[in-house]
Structure 1
Amino acid sequence: MEEKNKMGKKNNINYLPLFASSPYYSKKEFQFPITAVNKTVTDTSVLKNNSGITLLYIRDGRGTIIVNTRKYPVHKGLLMVLGAYHYYQVQPGEVPLELTKCRLSYDTFLYMAANPYYRFSEVRLNVDPITCLLEGRMLIRTEQVIDELVAATAKHKHQGGETEFFLCMKLMGIMQKTYNNDIWKK
């Protein structure tokens, strides 16, 4: 019995730390819901702010997104991460904007950032949204992951689960590989 108590102590080398990869990423009951939906924006949207993280992916069309009073041109293949401090409004161009909106909590984002295989220390949430302009194979792969994420969200009736978490992790991996914070400085 005493040996069993020693196994639970934090100073014991056999104690699994909070961010040990296998048990950490395979929880039976995932507590942080992730939702993803496709939207068609035909008119300027209302000013929005979400508590947590919002991933926006432009599936088709051209337009503008205003983030904290700054205008950014958007078009097919743009993946953007917005935080709770980003107020945003979407304005379609001459044709409607087709986009996918994925919402997750900061807890979920931090949970993902703890993954030792990603170098999220390089990705910072700052004034300019974290942005990727995807092309070629990365564009195709991103659209496949997003389609799976939207389908999983619909299947789980917006409750979220492990499937959504792992698909969102794939998106964050794509973001890590392809983001360009200088895209707006041109």
Structure 2
Amino acid sequence: MKIPSSVCVYCGASSRVADIHKQAAHALGDGLGRRGIRLVYGGGRVGLMGIVADAALAAGGEVVGIIPEHIQSAEVEHTGLTELHVVDSMHTRKRMMAEQSDAFVVLPGGLGTLDEAFEILTWRQLQLHDKPILIADVDGYWRPLLALIDHMVAEGFARIDRSRLYRVVDHIDDVFTALEEQPDPAVPIQPRKL
């Protein structure tokens, strides 16, 4: 696969996290911007979200934020983006982020990050899209989640071809190598109405 022209990044909005996660967000944003890959993300200016956006912008990249009205009203939107879309709901946000992206990277985050990641993973499992999904397991952050997924499979609750559904990388530099190694998507995004 050629390097995608746009990558959606799911990540946390908390600033009360270890420096290694902040550094990873900065490295990812910087790497996207330097490679001319457009960043699509949740539109926030705080936490890892703000760091990844600021780094991409500082490196000369384009950044598209998509934020729901109820979050924007808390005045946490990033006002210096290439584009900022204010939408009516979380569902609309997730659909637009998916439609505008060629691949997805999951950085460390909280419940919102899990929500976004599992929805895009589920859509791929249901063959609603075939875009690459990379889980950046920075400092082993996602190991408990990956173990839970293995447990679901072992218990018969999920039949997952992990190698086809997602790829795990341990370092941000590996994100770009992994994106280049992914096959071209065969199925465009076709989310169903909820």
Query: TM-score, normalization: structure 1?
Result: 0.29
Compare CA radii of gyration and give the structure with the larger one. Answer: 1
Query: More helix per residue: 1 or 2?
Result: 2
Query: More strand per residue: 1 or 2?
Result: 1
